[in-house]
Every structure is written in C-alpha cells, then in structure tokens.
C-alpha cells in the first residue's frame, strides 16, 4: 500500500510539473533569440511563378515582400556551392548525370518546361531567359538582408563547411537557417556552426513527438530553432492519385495529421523561441489550415497567392511577435 501511494504521488508530481512547465517553459529554458519571424516563405523562390531556385525567382519573391527564401544547395566538381534541388541533372535539364560530375561553368540551363513538385501534373514554363543555376554566393550578394532557409541536399562535409564559410563571409548567421531531413546532415551542420539557426531533422521531429506525448518535452533541451513539417492530410490530397488509392490511406493520413499537427506543440515551441513552418501549401484552403493550426509561417510555390491571402486575412499577420 505504501509503495502504491509513493508511486501515485511521484506520478502525480510528474504530471503536474509537466503541465506547468509545458505551459510556462521559460521557467526552465532560456528563450531562443531568433532575429526574424516569417509568415511568408517562398519555396525555391516560388516554383509555381518562376523557374525554381533562380535569381529571377528570388528577386520576384523579395519584391513581393516575402519574409524568407527557401533554397537547396549542391556541390559541383570544382567545389562551387550551387543552388539546385536535384542532385542529378536529368529531371530539369537536357543533360544526365550528377551535378557533382560537372564543373560549374559546364552546367546546362534549366529546361523550358519543368515539373512543379508539389503540384503533380503541373509544369512551369516561361519566356524568361534566366534559366541558370545560381551560386549561393551570388544569392547572398543580391539579397543581403533577406532571411534564407538552406536545405543541405547531400551528406558532404565539404558542402557544409563551404556553406558555413559563405554565411560567415556575408555576416548573415543571424538570418540563415540550415539543415536537412537526414539527422546525420543536420548534426554536422550544428557541429560546424552552432550560431546558425537549425532545422529539425525527421528523426528529431519524431523524437519531439514522443517527448510531447510522454510529457517529458518541457524538461528537454531543444537546440533547433525551426520546425519545418508537412501536413499529412494535404500531402495525401496532393499525391493520392499517384498511387493505388485505398480507403485506409485516408485513415492513416488523418491519424498522422492528428499526431503531428498540434497547436499546443507549436505554442509550446513558440514560447521557447522556435518557429514552425508548414510546407508546401499552394491553395487558400491550405494556407488557412496552416495558420489556424498555429503555424508561424507557410512555405509556398505561389508567393503572389500567399501574399494576397495574408492581405485579405490580416489576423494571421497582426501579431508579428513570437509568443
């Protein structure tokens, strides 16, 4: 009986303290000092409105007033940090092979018509002459004050080191986020430069959810500054016709959505200075779902559409201060 009472008392203290510190994490943790807040993030510069990951796309998004540019980095054979999503050239150019097999000057132009990854069946084409893969350094020169979100696409120590060196060279550690879904890459990024803002890897997202549902999250340190996740029900809707659709796919998507998209989690992280971005949202319905779920910002292929939505719904931008 005494042992049972002790167990109940300990468990009760744990539950109560977990609830208190979940609501007031600043009692245990110092709030992260992130220098920017982003509601409007342009995915690859706005892949639905310009050739993705080009200077023209970035310029268009910045002129619209985007809060952040999202881009992807690869490494060429001659050691240049180039902006491109795919590690191979086959999908978006007329050549084949890996980017790492070519010197930067030998990289081809982007095809006139390329797929929009998060709009299956849709392509982008334009008369724009800017179909060149830009260097990361060029982008830093053109947009010195714009927050940039860098996806390190390959597990390369050289790439990670060179990106960090460029960030330091252009004095933008305070407005640059980096990482990858792969935990090994994100861990290397943090080790290389802990002063830069850091993404949650997919492993860390899963671990954070485990900590949330077991009640230990309020007690655990968080080194990341940005949680960037997708909304399962949106991904299900986008890609359902690309695989053999079964009724249980919808059930799984809704369960995953319920577990992952938690306003209480986003609010807790916000109190600790961590921003949450949902990707890649391309319709007004999805924008609304994201902001109603408590996301700090939305990543989109259509920056003009998101800008119009935010102008029509100022309630999502009135409070620019992170909790």
pLDDT at res. 239: 83
- The CA distances from residue 53 to 44, 49, 69, 286, 301, in Å, are 5, 11, 9, 23, 11
Residue 209 has pLDDT above 90, yes or no: yes
> In whole angstroms, what is the distance from residue 203 CA to residue 78 CA?
32
3-state per-residue secondary structure call for 256-294: HHHHHCCHHHHHHHHHCCCEEEEECCCCHHHHHHHHHCC
Q: Per residue in 112-159, pLDDT tens?
A: 999 999 999 899 999 888 999 999 999 999 999 999 999 999 999 999
Q: What is the DSSP letter of 161?
A: H
Domains and CATH numbers, the chain: 32-70+133-315 (3.20.20.190)
Report the 10 Å Cβ neighbour count for 101: 13
CB 217 within 8 A of CB 208: yes
Q: In the beta sheet, which residues pair with residue 230?
A: 279
Q: Per residue in 96-121, pLDDT tens?
A: 999 999 999 999 999 999 999 999 98
Predicted structure pTM score: 0.95
């Amino acid at each position: 009986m005494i042992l049972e009472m002790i167990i109940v008392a300990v468990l009760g203290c744990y539950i109560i303290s977990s609830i208190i510190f979940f609501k007031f994490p600043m009692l245990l943790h110092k709030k992260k000092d992130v220098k920017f807040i982003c509601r409007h993030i342009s995915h690859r510069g706005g892949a639905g409105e310009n050739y993705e990951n080009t200077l023209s796309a970035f310029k268009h998004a910045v002129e619209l007033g985007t809060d952040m540019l999202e881009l992807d980095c690869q490494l060429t054979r001659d050691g240049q940090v180039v902006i491109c999503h795919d590690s191979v050239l086959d999908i978006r150019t007329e050549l084949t092979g890996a980017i790492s097999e070519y010197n930067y000057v030998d990289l081809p132009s982007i095809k006139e018509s390329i797929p929009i990854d998060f709009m299956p069946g849709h392509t982008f084409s334009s008369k724009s002459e800017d179909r060149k893969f830009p260097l990361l350094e060029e982008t830093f020169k053109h947009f010195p004050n714009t927050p940039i979100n860098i996806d390190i696409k390959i597990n390369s120590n050289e790439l990670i080191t060179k990106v960090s060196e460029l960030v330091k060279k252009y004095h933008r550690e305070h407005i640059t986020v980096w990482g990858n879904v792969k935990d090994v890459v994100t861990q290397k990024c943090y080790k290389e430069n802990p002063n830069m803002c850091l993404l949650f890897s997919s492993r860390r997202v899963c671990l954070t959810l485990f900590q949330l549902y077991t009640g230990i999250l309020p007690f655990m340190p968080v080194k990341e500054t940005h949680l960037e996740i997708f909304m399962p029900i949106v991904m299900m809707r986008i890609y359902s016709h690309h695989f053999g659709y079964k009724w249980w796919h919808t059930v799984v998507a809704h369960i995953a959505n319920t577990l992952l998209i938690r306003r209480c989690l986003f609010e807790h992280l916000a109190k600790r200075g961590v921003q949450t971005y949902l990707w890649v949202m391309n319709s007004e319905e999805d924008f609304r779902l994201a902001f109603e779920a408590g996301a700090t910002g939305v990543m989109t292929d259509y920056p003009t559409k998101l800008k119009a939505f935010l102008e029509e719904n100022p309630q999502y931008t009135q409070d620019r201060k992170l909790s």
